[in-house]
A and B are shown apart, each in its own frame.
Chain A
Amino acid sequence: MKAADFDYAAPRTLDDALALLARDDGAARPVAGSQSLGPMLNLRLAQPGLLVDITRIPELRDIAVDGDALVVGACVTHARLEDGGYPDPTGGVPARVAAGIAYRAVRNRGTIGGSLAHADPAADWVAALTALGADVIVAGPHGRRSVAMADFIVGAFETDLRPGEIIAAVRIPALSERARWGYVKVCRKTGEFSHATGAVLADPGRGVARCVVAAASGRPVVLDDPRLLADAAARDAAVAARLGGDPAAIRPHLVALRRAVAQVTP
């Protein structure tokens, strides 16, 4: 199928982009790598009147260290994160996560901000950035605000973004040298969306012991309890209580998390 008719704009500044998106008919949508919106346009599941291409805005393409955090612009592609070559106080976790996203053709165009804004529960950044305790920097008509990942993802394909707002950057806190990262996706084939994701960050240096289960039906499940790393039965019970539903359906999530925990367990 071919997309329905739409207008296209490619502003060079964030202010221009926000002005275009502020059109009060609600028909404008931002687009970056177009790896989710593109197919939706072609299937006519999305029919915006105006596409605002934000990939030419220089500040959205920066990767920088700011204090004790890695700040990644919304339009940074998965491929750039995968390839490294930037200072990374998180010890390479974003590069590892990026390398496992879909396949290279998708990574060449897909962006970290686009993935978060789309908020597919199975998306890697939804799971990984939640586990990393990242913050989302949101720019809008009323200025900027910072939202914790755990609050940013509201549900399946639902975010805290308000009309006229876009993601400007993601702020990933630095990890200590003792930090360990576990990450397991259950996919039927390479490049396919995950059916169950387990992410674990164990950073004794910062007092973090976080388990995340994602790719279920809603927002990620976050368990911030260090005892759960050692107690598999309690962990399974906690996840089951949060996910609910058919034991057979949640089983892959338990397995993914158990295997992610095994990766951080010396």
Chain B
Amino acid sequence: MSTTTGVGAPIRRKEDDRLLRGRGRFVGDVALPGMRELAFVRSPVAHARIRAIEVPPDHAGAVFTGADLAGDGVRAIRAASGLPGFKVSEQPALAIDKVRFVGEPVAVCVADTRAEAEDIAAAVFVDYDELPVNVDMLEAVKPGAPRVHEHWPDNVILETRTGGDLSAVAATAAVRVSRTIRTARQCMVPLEGKGVVAHRDRQAEQLVLTTSTQIPHIVRAGLAECLGLDQGAIRIVPPDIGGGFGWKGLLQPEEVVAAWLALRLDTPVRWTEDRREHLVAAANAREHHYEITAYADARGRLLGIEADALVDAGAYSVYPFTACLEAAQIGSILPGPYDFPHYRCRTVSVATNKPPLVPFRGVARTGVCFAMEQMIDAVAAAVGREALEVRLENLVRPEQMPFDNVTGKHFDSGDYPESVRRAAAAIGVEGVRERRARGEPDGRLVGVGFATYCEQAAHGTAVYHGWGIPMVPGHEQAHARITPDGGLELRVGVQSHGQSMETTFAQVAHEVLGIPVDRIKLVHGDTALTPYSTGTWGSRSMVMAGGAVATACRRLAERVRRIGGHLLQVPAGDTTLADGCVRAGAASVTVREVAHTWYRAPQRLPADVDPGGLEVTAGYKPGSDHGTFSYATHAAVVAVDPELGSVEILDYVVVEDAGTMVNPMVVDGQIYGGVAQGIGTALYERMPYDAEGQPLASTFMDYLIPGFTEVPHVRILHMHTPSPYTEFGVKGIGEGGAIAPPAALCNAINDALAPRGATVTDAPMTPEVILEALRRAGGPA
């Protein structure tokens, strides 16, 4: 850390003054003259042919259907993958001929208020001819299952195979352990739902979307394809955003509809997703099913893993990530941070009559970690050793770094076993063992569990190009401009939706240029003002856009020193730039004076000054294109009530290595929030469906998320292994907190249940799941 506000400083967030006082500007705060509100008619059935849509005569002109969009040439959302065998779906923004999940938009209604638009929606009659439904992915892959897309031969979107034959290992391994493991379908539940305002800007001759998105430039590209417009005819301007987690990392059908309507009606329109719409039509994350077998030697040293993994990808392929991102990743990341020689994994992305699967914070890793960490504990149990010891012996070791694992993942740095040792010390394993031996006065069962993961972040071109999806990240760019009064403007195409970028990017720039953090202004997201970017996803913004900001600022620094050197009458090479001053010996000139000279007194500049002046657009890629590898070990102590099946988290420790932290307080915040979401995955969150594909939770009464009292005080310990490949050695950490909690809590619960001989394998680990496990094991009565 060079200063008290630069890289490494835990300064308070610049954006908090606005956000915490309720003075932000979200989609719901936007007011445009003549703006009308939209409500969608959504399918009440999971699979049906649309026979007819009847609009009462007095609402004619206020209701639009898929036929209206098609009539105007609006194309369906289409997100293909280049992986061999991938089946492409077409998702009309409003359903045409068929609906494929409950909540699918069928028609849009326009009125002056949302309530009136809903009145109209209630009056629209849609005649559905119901079809057999695919609710369970295990059934949907069987021959003869009803097909979600009738022109496909089956419901397999994509099947992938990784690795080779394990029969030799299977024949000789001392230990073989198999498990069936399942994670539930979840909603992402950002504080603010999805929302969009669309209007036509006559002066700019542009369609403008004020939309709650993580990926403005990608939304523009997708929207241009659907509407048949030049990208230059569209501007995406994200407002403040109340969380995304992936739900805002795609082109939404509602965005297409709103954009088209704003042009067709020539009036501003707004749609704001309400909580019921979110729960019913956006239950779209995490649903994995594993059949997994681990082979080990008699000490528990892993010899091989083989797995069949199915992912319920829902009805359509989302733009740009497609329907196979989750499953295809499983094949390559299932081994996690473990070093073993033999591996086979088959993955299947299955189409069902549920909302399209969307990458959710942790993308595939949460399920993978849940599966793999259960196997480590299962192997330990099979060989009669402490899970902690077996985990330590199988993790990649620091002396192996950089390390290419069994699937070719390139681990950049770190000491994974040390994170386990520190977590074990912090959680007090010995104390928990003693407490267990004593027993609890209230009869509850106490257990301790661990989970270790690696988080590949800031995936580069090398990772993405092979997938052939509509988006491949290349160089990330940032624009930096010193203002005439010596301040700094930064422009980046990533979009903060809670990541504190207004603060952390200013810290990066301050580190290089010495301009005070409060004089640095971040412009982000707006496609008219910022460089192209694939956006904020995959824990990439600090590595990629932060790296670009640093690069741009370094170029600016050279120019500042050149002008400063001229003013000081020394060669630029004899100057330094620190604390906002160009110095040469005892003489100095401030950046502010340099800026004044460039903009206001160019007559004082040397003849050979860089005509680019004090603004720079610079591109950046890390030294390795494979992404950074942050990692952590989570440790949890739980008390399980064997009579009720309830779980209390008594203690929770995170030991993580984010490399260099630009702002440790922001990193901690990411971890706290991620752990809270992970606890939701572990213990509470599940969208149940009935046999007809009806989602059974439409309010927070039925869809439980952890609240203030369900999230314990999380103790975070940091390790610091800078990445050898990135600016300052930073690593992406945005998703990590949400990856390990289901695994750590599952292992803790199973440790608690071990004396009763019970094991849980499915998330969420609800009272019913735990009581059922106890029943199978012979108790409770």
A189 contacts B by Cβ under 8 Å: yes
A248 contacts B by Cβ under 8 Å: yes
B646 contacts A by Cβ under 8 Å: yes
Residues of B within 8 A of A84 (CB): none
B684 contacts A by Cβ under 8 Å: yes
Instruction: Kindly supply a per-residue 1/0 record for chain B positions 400-424, scoring 1 wherever the CB is within 8 Å of any chain A CB and 0 otherwise.
Output: 0000000000000000000000000
The answer to whether B701 touches A193, judged by C-beta atoms less than 8 angstroms apart, is yes
The answer to whether A5 touches B699, judged by C-beta atoms less than 8 angstroms apart, is no
B657-701 interface with A by 8 A CB criterion: 684, 698-699, 701
Q: With A1-B276, A43-B276, A255-B644 in contact, do A188 and B122 touch (Cβ < 8 Å)? A: no
> Taking the nearest CB of chain B, how far is it from the CB of A6, in angstroms?
11
The answer to whether A2 touches B707, judged by C-beta atoms less than 8 angstroms apart, is no
A252 contacts B by Cβ under 8 Å: yes
B710 contacts A by Cβ under 8 Å: yes
Cα A44 to Cα B119 with chains together (Å): 10
A181-202 interface with B by 8 A CB criterion: 186, 188-193
Residues of A within 8 A of B114 (CB): 2
Cα A81 to Cα B228 with chains together (Å): 62
> Taking the nearest CB of chain B, how far is it from the CB of A124, in angstroms?
15
B118 contacts A by Cβ under 8 Å: yes
Cα A39 to Cα B698 with chains together (Å): 12
The answer to whether B775 touches A39, judged by C-beta atoms less than 8 angstroms apart, is no
Point out the residue from B699, B704, B706 that lies within 8 Å of A39, measured CB to CB.
Answer: B699
Residues of B within 8 A of A191 (CB): 707, 709
Residues of B within 8 A of A193 (CB): 701
The answer to whether B706 touches A189, judged by C-beta atoms less than 8 angstroms apart, is yes
The answer to whether B119 touches A4, judged by C-beta atoms less than 8 angstroms apart, is yes
Most buried by B among A3, A4, A39, A189: A189
Residues of A within 8 A of B708 (CB): 190
The answer to whether B704 touches A192, judged by C-beta atoms less than 8 angstroms apart, is yes
The answer to whether A188 touches B684, judged by C-beta atoms less than 8 angstroms apart, is yes
The answer to whether B771 touches A255, judged by C-beta atoms less than 8 angstroms apart, is no
The answer to whether B644 touches A186, judged by C-beta atoms less than 8 angstroms apart, is yes
The answer to whether B704 touches A43, judged by C-beta atoms less than 8 angstroms apart, is no
B266 contacts A by Cβ under 8 Å: no
The answer to whether A5 touches B707, judged by C-beta atoms less than 8 angstroms apart, is no
Q: Is the interface of A mostly helix, strand, loop or mixed?
A: loop
B612-670 interface with A by 8 A CB criterion: 643-644, 646
Most buried by B among A2, A3, A43, A191: A2
Residues of A within 8 A of B698 (CB): 43
Cα A1 to Cα B710 with chains together (Å): 28
Residues of A within 8 A of B780 (CB): 251
The answer to whether B704 touches A188, judged by C-beta atoms less than 8 angstroms apart, is yes
Most buried by A among B644, B710, B766: B644
Residues of B within 8 A of A188 (CB): 646, 684, 704, 766-767
Instruction: Kindly supply a per-residue 1/0 record for chain B positions 698-741, scoring 1 wherever the CB is within 8 Å of any chain A CB and 0 otherwise.
Output: 11010010111110000000000000000000000000000000
> Taking the nearest CB of chain A, how far is it from the CB of B639, in angstroms?
15
Instruction: Kindly supply a per-residue 1/0 record for chain B positions 240-277, scoring 1 wherever the CB is within 8 Å of any chain A CB and 0 otherwise.
Output: 00000000000000000000000000000000001010
> Taking the nearest CB of chain B, how far is it from the CB of A247, in angstroms?
9
Q: Which residue of chain B has its CB nearest to the CB of A189?
A: B710
Residues of B within 8 A of A248 (CB): 771, 775
The answer to whether B119 touches A189, judged by C-beta atoms less than 8 angstroms apart, is no
> Taking the nearest CB of chain A, how far is it from the CB of B189, in angstroms?
14
Cα A193 to Cα B119 with chains together (Å): 31
The answer to whether A190 touches B122, judged by C-beta atoms less than 8 angstroms apart, is no
Cα A8 to Cα B114 with chains together (Å): 20
The answer to whether B767 touches A3, judged by C-beta atoms less than 8 angstroms apart, is no
The answer to whether A44 touches B122, judged by C-beta atoms less than 8 angstroms apart, is yes
The answer to whether B115 touches A2, judged by C-beta atoms less than 8 angstroms apart, is yes
Q: With A188-B704, A191-B707, A255-B643 in contact, do A1 and B118 touch (Cβ < 8 Å)? A: yes
The answer to whether A190 touches B707, judged by C-beta atoms less than 8 angstroms apart, is yes
Q: Which residue of chain B has its CB nearest to the CB of A196?
A: B644
Q: With A1-B274, A43-B699, A248-B775 in contact, do A189 and B122 touch (Cβ < 8 Å)? A: no
The answer to whether A189 touches B684, judged by C-beta atoms less than 8 angstroms apart, is yes
Point out the residue from B274, B644, B710 that lies within 8 Å of A252, measured CB to CB.
Answer: B644
Mark B residues whose CB is within 8 Å of A. Answer: 113-115, 118-119, 122, 274, 276, 643-644, 646, 684, 698-699, 701, 704, 706-710, 766-767, 771, 775, 780
Q: What 9 A-B pairs come out closest when comparing CB atoms?
A: A2-B115, A190-B709, A255-B643, A189-B710, A2-B114, A2-B118, A1-B276, A255-B644, A1-B274
Would you give 5 A-B contacts (Cβ < 8 Å), ordered by A? A1-B276, A2-B118, A4-B119, A190-B707, A248-B771
Given A44-B118, A188-B704, 11 extra CB contacts under 8 A: A2-B113, A43-B698, A186-B646, A188-B767, A189-B709, A189-B710, A190-B709, A190-B710, A191-B709, A193-B701, A252-B644
